[in-house]
């Protein structure tokens, strides 16, 4: 066997570094059994790498699946809340409409009752009864007292009116 010395060049300096290499005779071609064994080992190594990658991808997919499930659940919750809110608004609008109809019906009944009362009462009969039966008379000018308001739209009363 032959001994080989190697020299390395480093930043402008010749640095000697001794290394011993033993030259081996050239390899012979592998036999068929060795090639098959290497193929099986290579296939096993590739299968292990593939299995590790598949396991990592599965963990990643489970995490993403969890996120997606949470997003879908949140979206469904928001949609159900929106539909419930819309139903509540619609119910209240219908209730308000029914109350408005009831109010208009009551107002119409009140106006009809007022007009019936106005038609059934005769003011001349009331005047005749007050004067003849109850002895009431019209007020004289000395009994009438006028109050003036100084630009205000209300008046405060501190004593009884005489």
- The per-residue pLDDT for 22 is 57
Residue 123 falls inside a structural domain? yes
pLDDT in tens, 10-28: 555 555 555 555 566 666 6
Query: What average pLDDT does the structure give for the chain?
Result: 83
Query: How many domains does one find in the chain?
Result: 1
Domain membership of residue 21 (yes or no) is no
64 within domain boundaries: yes
Question: Mean pLDDT, to the nearest integer, of 69-90?
Answer: 97
Contact indicator for 8, 17 with CB cutoff of 8 Å:
yes
- Beta bridge pairs of residue 7: 16
Whether 96 is covered by a domain: the verdict is yes
Is the model's pTM score more than 0.75?
A: no
Look up the domain containing 109 and give its range.
35-132
Q: In terms of pLDDT, which residue wins out, 3 or 8?
A: 3
- Where residue 75 falls among pLDDT bands split at 50, 70, 90? very high
Q: For residue 125, what pLDDT is reported?
A: 86
90 found inside a domain: yes
Answer whether residue 17 is part of any domain: no
Q: Are 20 and 6 in contact (CB under 8 A)?
A: no
- Asked, for residue 88, whether it belongs to a domain, the answer is yes
| Nearest residue to 146 via CA among 159, 162, 130, 134 | 162
User: Is residue 144, in this structure, part of any structural domain at all?
Assistant: no
Q: How confident is the model at residue 95 (pLDDT cuts 50, 70, 90)?
A: very high
């Amino acid at each position: 066997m032959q001994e080989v010395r190697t020299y390395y060049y480093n930043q402008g300096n010749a640095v000697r570094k001794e290394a011993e290499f033993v030259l081996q005779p050239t390899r012979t071609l592998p036999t068929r059994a060795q090639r098959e064994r290497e193929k099986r080992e290579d296939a096993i190594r590739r299968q292990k790498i593939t299995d590790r990658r598949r396991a990592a991808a599965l963990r990643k997919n489970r995490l993403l699946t969890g996120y997606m499930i949470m997003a879908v659940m949140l979206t469904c919750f928001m949609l159900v809340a929106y539909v419930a809110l819309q139903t509540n608004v619609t119910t209240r609008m219908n209730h308000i409409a029914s109350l408005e109809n009831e109010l208009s019906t009551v107002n119409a009944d009140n106006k009809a009752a007022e007009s019936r009362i106005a038609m059934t009462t005769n003011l001349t009969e009331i005047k005749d009864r007050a004067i003849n039966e109850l002895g009431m008379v019209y007020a004289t000018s000395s009994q009438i007292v006028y109050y003036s308001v100084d630009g205000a739209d209300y008046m405060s009363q501190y004593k009884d009116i005489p």
